[in-house]
Chains A and B, each alone.
Chain A
């Protein structure tokens, strides 16, 4: 008889969620296409002047990514709640918070990471000044997991309700604003040749804090929604 290990449980969950995403790969691509469309439409609406576009490039990419992440957020725990998988997760002998952290990781991996990967290309498209490029990448690497973690807590709180989409947006946006402010602050500082360490460190601190606390909060909220 084998009782399975925590690592085995996390691996099984990661494998299952990735397999599920592969089955729904058309839907999984939606956020990425959305972000690309937003970024591609800006030059048409504002005009092709490199100075203007270069000025707004970083902010445009940040907002597009933030909204794209919001698109897929609502589905994070919904199907698990509706088909009873969540009950099985809660009843499993492993810490729920860690299992949920795996789910959030998959969400980040499949919605945010591809966008971070194409960010240099998008930056080039919008005439993002060269020195800002690495800063934008660093900002995205720190802020996208933070957004996924914060979003997951809000989803866990609202998933038990019907038609929770609007409520979710209302809950999430105020919490996203500080992240956006620090992220944009770093990009602006880089654009003006100022040091960027402070906002990046703030984002890093936020990420460290939410890496620890967000899965615990998710676990507590989801236990309430299945009872």
Chain B
């Protein structure tokens, strides 16, 4: 899908800044994310990448500026089915199997057309681990389960916090492949990275996030 200049961007930040107890964490920053775009948010440790994603997903109120989703101010109530967040905490239960975790995610967030939990697990390379309790899987495999969740829920905007962490080379390629497919069908993704790994396919737009002294 070609970006159409007339439609409002999927996600737009205007003068976005956040301060905790009067101590600035990031910003002010401006950027726009259009359909079919993958943007890499680069910043050092402590530059506020995770906080930025929380603000963009509506979990945390910004101290200044605004987040616009499809041209309208972002509120938790308006998020419905548009944003999927993959944070440092994966939001998966160790006692349950990958399949049970995914079924819960579908019940909560809905299901994208033309995919089943089993297919999603297959495409992240976890075939044969469907019924194994998640706590017996490695950190990278857990991350893959969380990636399968992204494939299943019908969100157009992916907010990924360090998606390459804990993944092997094949896993990094997998994330890139998922991002490519997602962008091709009109979705958008914002990825944070401290720069050790990179989005290799294509040339994603990079936005530097500087720590506020």
Contacts and interface: CB of A to CB of B under 8 A. Distances in A.
Interface of A: 1-4, 8-9, 11-13, 15-16, 19-20, 23-24, 79, 82-94, 99, 223, 226-227
Nearest to A83: B89
Contacts of B91: 83-88
A16 B91 CA distance: 13
Interface of B: 54, 57-61, 76, 79-81, 83-85, 87-96, 100, 103-113, 133, 154
A16 B96 contact: yes
Nearest to A81: B89
Contacts of B57: 91
Contacts of A86: 91
A92 B108 contact: yes
Contacts of A2: 110-111, 113, 154
Contacts of B85: 87-88, 91
Contacts, number: 101
A205 B75 CA distance: 34
Nearest to B95: A23
Contacts of A99: 108
B60 A227 contact: yes
19 contacts: A1-B110, A4-B108, A4-B109, A4-B110, A12-B104, A12-B106, A12-B107, A13-B107, A19-B100, A20-B93, A20-B96, A23-B96, A83-B90, A85-B91, A86-B91, A91-B59, A92-B109, A93-B79, A93-B81
B59 A15 contact: no
Q: Which of B57, B83, B85, B108 has the most CB of A within 10 A?
A: B108
B90 A94 contact: no
B93 A87 contact: no
Given A23-B96, A227-B54, A11 B87 contact: no
Contacts of A91: 57-59, 76, 79, 83-85
Contacts of B79: 91, 93
A13 B95 contact: no
Given A3-B110, A19-B96, 16 more contacts: A9-B107, A11-B107, A12-B104, A12-B108, A15-B107, A16-B100, A79-B93, A83-B91, A83-B92, A84-B88, A90-B76, A91-B79, A91-B85, A93-B79, A99-B108, A226-B59
